[in-house]
Structure 1
Amino acid sequence: MLEIRHLTKRFGGLAAVNDVSATVERGRINAIIGPNGAGKTTFFNLISGVHRPTSGSISFEGQDVTHLRSDQVARLGISRTFQTTTLFDMATVLDNLIVGHRLRTRSGLVDVLFNSRRLREEERTCREKAREALDFVGLSHIAHRLAGDISQEERKRVAFALALSTDPRLVLLDEPAGGVNPDETQGLADLIRKMVASGLTVCLIEHKMDMIMSLADKIMVLNYGEKIAEGSPAEIRANPAVIDAYLGSEHAEV
């Protein structure tokens, strides 16, 4: 679904991502792990159009997206979440999500000034998409609460819903379980499985190894911006380079 070839991003003399080639497989849960500073979030930023690569290429469903802007990448069907979930805290949860589907609308200033039929129809569609996304992540009951009043775990689910409201085919999740307890982590893992079961493809960055090892179909490991391993969870657990660089002996296959 996604093919990355020799991707490199330099910031001055620092190679945050260095000659990385990888694939994201359709309909599966793909994971990226590695120490802090390994280049994982930069890698996501390159895929989603936040940064332009220094060299290399990114192809999504056969189309070159290497130099597209973030909004163009999103329209093609790649959505993402961020490590920190930033919401409009003084707006309701539902109103936060209505923003997500706006990238699929065509109304402009003239439509707003004249309250056109197209504007009204698109607003109705955006609201429906927001409600569907909230229902999918199990948060319909907080639709009208202020975003500033919800829990950290609920904010994580709202971030999932915001990504889903853009009608994606590939969802990039950056540390989706950061800052939540073990029970909540399991709930988010179940939600990720639900997303894939519904036809989506997921690629996630995560530091919680128990979650990753039980969830991912394929794992890529980055260290100092370079890919040092790629394979199944069992292969990654048994890889000496990964154990030495990141996992430690407690996660090694015995």
Structure 2
Amino acid sequence: MLEIRNLTKRFGGLTAVRDVSVTMEAGKINAIIGPNGAGKTTFFNLISGVHQPTSGSIVFKGQDVTRLRADQMARLGVSRTFQTTALFDNASVLDNLIVGHRLRTRSGLWDVLARTRLAREEEKICRDKAERALDFVGLNHIHHRLAADISQEERKRVAFALALCTDPNIVLLDEPAGGVNPEETVGLAALIRKMVDSGLTVCLIEHKMDMIMSLADKILVLSYGEKIAEGTPAEIRANPQVIEAYLGSEHAAA
């Protein structure tokens, strides 16, 4: 679904991502791991159109999308979450999600102000989409609550739902289990698996190795912006370079 070829990103004299090539497989959970400063989030920013690469190419479903902006990538079906979930805290959870599907609407400012038929029809579509996304992530019971009043784990689920509201083909999850406890991590992992079972492709960055090793179909390992390994969890766990760079000897023995 997503093919990365010799991707490089330089910020002045710093090379954050260097000559990385990888394929993200459709209908799979593709994980990216590596120590802090390895270039993982920069890599996501390149894929999603937040940053433009210095060199290399990105091909999505057979189309060269290397120079597309983030909004163009989202319209093509690439959605992402961020390490910190930014919501409109003074709006309800449902209203936060209604905004997400606006990406797919055609009504403009005049339609909204004049309450045209198009605006009314699209508002209903956005609301229906938001309600289905909330149901998918198990949060229908808090649709009316202000975003400021929900827990960290619920914010993570809302971020998943917001990504789903854009009608994606692939979802990029940046540390989806960051800041939640082990029990909540298990629940989020089950939700990620549910997303893939529903037909989506997932690529995630995560530091919780137990979660990654039990969840991912394929893992890419970055270190100092370079790819040092790629393979199944079993292959990554046994890779000497990965053990030295990141995982530690306890994973080699597991």
Quick check: TM above 0.5? Answer: yes
Match of 2:229, SS?
strand
Report what 1:242 is aligned to: 242
Task: Give the AA of the match of 2:59.
Answer: S
Structure 1 contact 234–253 (Cα < 8 Å) conserved = no
Deviation at 1:170, TM superposition (A): 0.1
Note the alpha carbon deviations across 1:154-211, whole angstroms, 9 max, x for none.
0000000000000001000000000000000000000000000000000000000000
**Cα RMSD over matched residues?**
0.6
**1:80 to partner: Cα distance:** 0.3
Given residue 158 of structure 2, which amino acid in structure 1 is its aligned partner?
V
Q: For residue 225 of structure 1, what is the aligned residue in structure 2?
A: 225
What is aligned with 2:9? Answer: 9
Distance in 1, matches of 2:147 and 2:111, equals 29
CA deviations over 1:38-94 (Å, ceiling 9, x no partner): 000000000000000000000000011110010000000000000000111110000
Question: 1:157 aligns to what?
Answer: 157
Distance 2:202 2:95 in 1: 25
- Look up the match of 2:184: 184
Tell me how far apart the structure 2 counterparts of residues 98 and 49 of structure 1 sit (CA, whole Å).
Answer: 23
Secondary structure of the structure 1 residue equivalent to 2:50 = coil
CA distance in 1, matches of 2:252, 2:231: 14
Instruction: Give the gaps of 5 or more residues in structure 1.
Output: none
Which residue of structure 2 lines up, in the alignment, with residue 60 of structure 1?
A: 60
Equivalence for 1:216? 216
Report the 3-state secondary structure (helix = DSSP H, G, I; strand = E; otherwise coil) of the residue aligned with 2:227. strand
Aligned to 1:114: 114
The aligned length equals: 254
What is the deviation of 1:253?
4.3
Q: CA deviation at 1:112?
A: 2.0
Q: Percent identity?
A: 82
Q: CA deviation at 1:110?
A: 2.2
Q: Which deviates more, 112-121 or 180-189? A: 112-121
- Aligned positions of 1:120-159 closer than 5 A: 120-159=120-159
- Over 2 Å off, 4+ runs: none
Q: Give distance in 2, aligned partners of 1:71 and 1:37.
A: 26
Which residue of structure 2 lines up, in the alignment, with residue 92 of structure 1? 92
TM-score by length of 2: 0.99
- Secondary structure of the 1:99 match is helix
Letter in 1 for 2:251: H
- TM-score normalised by L of structure 1: 0.99
* Distance in 1, Cα, partners of 2:175 & 2:103: 24
Residue 203 of structure 1 aligns to a residue whose secondary structure is strand
* Structure 2 residue matching 1:252: 3-state secondary structure: helix
